[in-house]
Amino acid sequence: MKSYSYTLLVVGTTFLMGVAFPIGGIGMRYASPLLLMSLRFLVAGVLMAAFVAAARRRQPKGLKQWLQLLLIGCCQTAGALGLAYYAMHWITSGEAAILTFLNPLLVIVLSTLLLGARYGIAQWLGVALGLSGVVVTFGSRLSLEPGMIIGFMSGVSFAAATLLVRRWGGGFDTWVMTAYQMLLGGLVLLAASMLLEKPYFTLAWPPVMIVLGLAVFCSIVQFSCWYYLLSIGDPGKTSSYLFLAPMFGVLSGWALLGEKLEWYVGAGALLIGAGIYLVNRRSAAVSSVLSDNHAHERV
């Protein structure tokens, strides 16, 4: 792929990652957040599951693989994005995007604490820059308020999902894993909606189109493009472009929802973006650790 085509596809994919937050914010005018997310991923999961079945892609085998998919779906689909949208009861869509996309930084912390991975100065500098970006973004509002806690847990859940995918992903067809983790995560979100909120959905064209847009463009197209980019190039280089996602989240929140684009929010997003870039420049450590663990597990 030519460099300009690659860059255009990366920018388009990260734009879809970021713009999903304010679009979801608009959808929350018509639906409760957990129900909105469950519908998004149930529609996307059903469509992708139908596609991989028709294409005769390799299906999961045995209870163990289905439980692995359920756990990935709980962390990535239900945990990361369900929590992020629920946090928007208290914080803006741009702030929710910033906290969710702490994921690459938190992967470094979790893999060091839990897996014994070792990283260089550049990665730890990236973590420090990213956390300082959170402090700058929220400033005096940095506290244990519900929105911040839930938003931060969204990033933690996303990081946990990343580690699980790196550990177990090799045992699945990528497209099958994506389809079923969305479908299972959507079912978990539906159950959570029934238990944790008063679910409602206004049956009208705007919310229906929002659900379809989130399902098709911000789920199926986004995942497909991202995995395609990872498959044709260096994953570390491709992942370094994740720094664009929180910036697109902040900018699209301003453009679509009229959220105030305060200077400190922009500065915080830039610091977090710089941190993500540094973290992903050389990210082989955790992959090596997970590969070794997986090899020992097979033995």
**C-alpha to C-alpha distances, 197 to 41, 69, 144, 218, 230, nearest whole angstrom:** 18, 25, 21, 24, 37
Rounded CA gap, 258 and 79, in Å? 27
Q: What is the CA radius of gyration of the chain?
A: 18
Q: What is the pLDDT of residues 254-279, one digit of tens each?
A: 999 998 877 877 788 788 888 878 87
More confident residue, 299 or 2: 2
* Tally of structural domains, the chain: 1
- Tell me the pTM: 0.84
And the tokens for 142?
A: 């940095």
DSSP labels, 67-131:
HHHHHHHIIIIIIIIHHHHHHTTTS-HHHHHHHHTTHHHHHHHHHHHHH-----HHHHHHHHHHH
Residues 6+ apart with CB under 8 A from 112: 118, 119
**Residue 234's CB: how many other CB atoms inside 10 A?**
9
Average pLDDT across the chain, whole number = 85
Q: How does DSSP classify residue 139?
A: G
What pLDDT score does 236 carry? Answer: 60
Residues 6+ apart with CB under 8 A from 182: 41, 44, 45, 48, 73, 77, 219
What pLDDT score does 83 carry? Answer: 94
Over residues 27-54, the mean pLDDT reads: 96
CA-closest candidate to residue 276, choices 131, 64, 144, 153: 131
Q: What is the pLDDT of residues 128-187, one digit of tens each?
A: 888 888 778 776 566 668 888 999 999 999 889 888 888 898 888 988 999 999 999 999
**C-alpha to C-alpha distances, 171 to 52, 55, 59, 181, nearest whole angstrom:** 16, 18, 10, 14
Looking up tokens 């929010």 gives 265
Rounded CA gap, 47 and 42, in Å? 8
Rounded CA gap, 75 and 94, in Å? 21
For residue 285, the enclosing domain spans: 3-298
What pLDDT score does 132 carry? Answer: 85
Percent pLDDT > 70 in the chain is 88
With H, G, I as helix, E, B as strand and everything else as coil, classify residue 31: strand
